[in-house]
């Protein structure tokens, strides 16, 4: 990745061969990332490096620059026209997400083949071809139905696989700079020890796989979700990726949170300018994918729909440039070793291989911070070879009595229940110490929930008393 970064910086004329050699030599001696060494040597500023890693894809100026064959775009547009009925050039531009001159060229070609005709004009749409209203001819409808029988994909124009790979590499999680202040701010809503945060910070910043383990009910999932919020900046993903002639739908509104984007592909008086973004790409917050006990190996492969005749991207592809959380690891609908065997190469080499129905295999980047979270004993789940490939293993243990009290206070405040320290002391002495039950970080929340439920049922104000805590304890725990 470092040499690839260097080559890209040279291509943009931001770096010379000699400067790259010096930076690589400094990296060999002092370690760290190539970008950090370039800044330390004064070859780049932090702003220049940040801008490089947050480049927006620029609008193509020709069919050739889309990376797609003209015949593919014509077929895609023809299917769109069939679903639109009567349409204008602007309508097609907005749906296909390609610039006006390219769509205009495509419509002219379709019109020359007698598959579309002008029905009239609309004064509200401007002048010339922008004002024309079109409809498909019978020949055009027949061709559209034929194409829909081959593939029902009718969405934004996809980007070619090589463009997707290049953008993932530019936006890699391995070049994210996470500051200590950001980590402290993100975890401020949790009661987490300073020593734990000291270990978590470098792990997050590394962009490498992380193994969270420890007894249940102590915040591993909450910590994993908070790590996701530390990830800075936004990234660009395409709506869809084209591999050979097959479309892979990547954008998932459940997984990907789009940020507001100004303008449209038809803006700027329908002229293409170099600083306009390629609307086939969507700007999103860094993706967060979480899978628990429902995860199976099939979710890590391309999903082909026999009716729609196109593919849905697997989970790890949707998580690229973001975070993939494997929650409750070891409780999936498969043997843990099967998952480890599937991912042992991607975790080490940061690439994955997917297969089309035709048997064609292709390579995609595996660029994500993978977080395994489990309450099972790690050595019973995985072998030493796999643990060696996960650089950071962090135990999330039971809270101390002081941390437990702080958690209890915070839960009371968030639920508007008056906090009474003497009642927590009663709880500790009467129940925890006598029973030998360990403290769990989830207990304050769950016990307070019991007290609130009982108070609401009996129509009184929830409060901490010996009676309410005793009742909550007896209905929450199973005493053997």
Tokens of 198: 């000291």
Helix H or strand E segment including 168: helix 161-170
| Alpha carbon distance 277, 300 (integer Å) | 31
Sheet of 303-304, strands arranged across: 159-160, 240-243, 246-249, 311-312, 303-304
Tokens of 299: 């979710």
| Alpha carbon distance 285, 217 (integer Å) | 29
| Alpha carbon distance 71, 146 (integer Å) | 15
Is 451 buried (19+), middle (13-18) or exposed (0-12) by CB count in 10 A?
buried
- Whether residue 274 contacts residue 58, with contact meaning beta carbons closer than 8 Å, is answered with yes
Q: Domain locations in the chain?
A: 63-157, 184-258+277-395, 401-476
Please give the full DSSP string across 296-307, using - where no structure is assigned: -GGGGS-EE-TT
- Whether residue 174 contacts residue 128, with contact meaning beta carbons closer than 8 Å, is answered with no
Q: Which runs of E-coded beta strand occur in 113-233?
A: 116-121, 132-136, 159-160, 210-213
The whole model's pTM is what? 0.83
The answer for residues whose C-beta is within 8 angstroms of residue 193's C-beta and 6 or more apart is: 400, 403
What residue has token string 């390609």? 98
Tokens of 43: 């070859």
Please give the full DSSP string across 223-279, using - where no structure is assigned: HHHHHHHH--SEEEEESEEEETTEEEE---TTT--BPP--S-TTTGGG---TTSB-T
Query: Is 184-258+277-395 assigned to CATH 3.40.50.300?
Result: yes
- Whether residue 410 contacts residue 399, with contact meaning beta carbons closer than 8 Å, is answered with no
- Whether residue 340 contacts residue 386, with contact meaning beta carbons closer than 8 Å, is answered with yes
| Residue 196: other Cβ atoms inside 10 A | 17
Nearest by Cα to 140 from 174, 173, 164, 106: 106
Per-residue pLDDT of the chain (480 residues; tens, 9 = 90+): 444 667 777 776 777 888 888 878 787 776 666 777 777 788 777 666 666 666 789 899 999 999 999 999 999 999 999 999 899 999 999 999 999 999 999 999 999 999 999 888 765 555 567 778 999 999 999 999 999 999 999 999 999 999 999 999 888 888 777 788 888 888 888 888 878 888 888 888 888 889 999 999 999 989 988 888 888 778 999 999 999 999 999 999 999 999 976 544 444 444 445 568 999 999 999 999 999 888 999 999 999 999 999 999 999 999 999 999 999 998 888 888 888 888 888 988 899 999 999 999 999 999 999 999 998 888 778 777 778 778 899 999 999 999 999 999 999 999 999 999 999 999 999 999 998 999 999 999 999 999 999 999 999 999 999 999 999 999 999 865
DSSP code at position 57 = P
| Residue 474: other Cβ atoms inside 10 A | 12
Is 411 buried (19+), middle (13-18) or exposed (0-12) by CB count in 10 A?
buried
- Whether residue 451 contacts residue 469, with contact meaning beta carbons closer than 8 Å, is answered with yes
CATH number of the domain located at residue range(s) 63-157 in this protein: 1.10.10.10
pLDDT value at position 343? 87
SS3 281: strand
Phi, psi of 363 (to 5 degrees): -100, 135
Nearest by Cα to 372 from 348, 391, 397: 391
């Amino acid at each position: 990745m470092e040499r690839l970064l260097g080559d890209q910086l040279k291509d943009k004329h931001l770096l010379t061969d000699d400067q790259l050699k010096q930076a690589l030599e400094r990296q060999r001696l002092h370690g760290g990332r190539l970008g950090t060494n370039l800044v330390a040597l004064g070859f780049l500023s932090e702003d220049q490096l940040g801008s490089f890693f947050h480049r927006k894809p620029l609008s193509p100026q020709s069919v050739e620059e889309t990376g797609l064959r003209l015949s593919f775009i014509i077929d895609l547009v023809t299917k769109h026209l069939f679903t639109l009925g009567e349409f204008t050039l602007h309508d097609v531009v907005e749906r296909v997400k390609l610039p006006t001159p390219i769509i205009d060229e495509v419509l002219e070609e379709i019109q020359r083949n007698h598959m579309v005709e002008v029905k009239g004009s609309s004064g509200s749409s401007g002048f010339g071809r922008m004002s024309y209203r079109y409809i498909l001819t019978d020949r055009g409808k027949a061709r559209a139905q034929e194409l829909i029988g081959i593939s029902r994909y009718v969405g934004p124009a996809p980007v070619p696989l090589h463009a997707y790979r290049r953008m993932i590499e530019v936006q890699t999680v391995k070049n994210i700079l996470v500051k200590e202040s950001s980590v402290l701010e993100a975890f401020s809503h949790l009661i987490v020890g300073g020593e734990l945060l000291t270990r978590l910070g470098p792990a997050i910043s590394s962009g490498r796989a992380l193994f969270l383990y420890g007894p249940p009910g102590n915040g591993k999932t909450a910590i994993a979700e908070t790590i996701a919020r530390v990830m800075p900046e936004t990234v660009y993903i395409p709506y869809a990726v084209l591999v050979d002639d097959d479309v892979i739908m990547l954008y998932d509104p459940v997984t990907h949170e789009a940020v507001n984007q100004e303008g449209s592909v038809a803006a700027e008086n329908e002229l293409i300018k170099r600083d306009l973004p390629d609307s086939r790409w969507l700007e999103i917050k860094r993706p967060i994918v979480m899978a628990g006990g429902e995860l199976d190996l099939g979710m890590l492969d391309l999903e082909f729909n026999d009716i729609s005749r196109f593919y849905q991207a697997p989970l790890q592809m949707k998580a690229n440039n973001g975070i993939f959380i494997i929650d409750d690891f070891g409780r999936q609908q498969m043997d843990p070793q099967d998952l480890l065997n599937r991912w042992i190469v991607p975790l080490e080499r940061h690439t994955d291989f997917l297969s089309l129905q035709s048997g064609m295999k292709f390579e995609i980047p595996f660029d994500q911070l993978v977080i395994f979270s489990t309450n099972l004993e790690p050595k019973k789940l995985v072998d030493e070879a796999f643990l060696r490939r996960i650089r950071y293993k962090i135990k999330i243990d039971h809270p101390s009595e002081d941390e437990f009290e702080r958690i209890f206070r915070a839960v009371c405040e968030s639920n508007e229940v008056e906090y009474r320290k003497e009642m927590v002391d009663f709880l500790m002495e009467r129940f925890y110490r006598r029973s030998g039950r360990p403290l769990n970080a989830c207990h304050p929340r769950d016990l307070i929930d019991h007290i609130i439920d009982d108070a609401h049922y009996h129509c009184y104000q929830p409060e901490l008393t010996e009676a309410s805590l005793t009742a909550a304890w007896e209905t929450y725990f199973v005493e053997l």
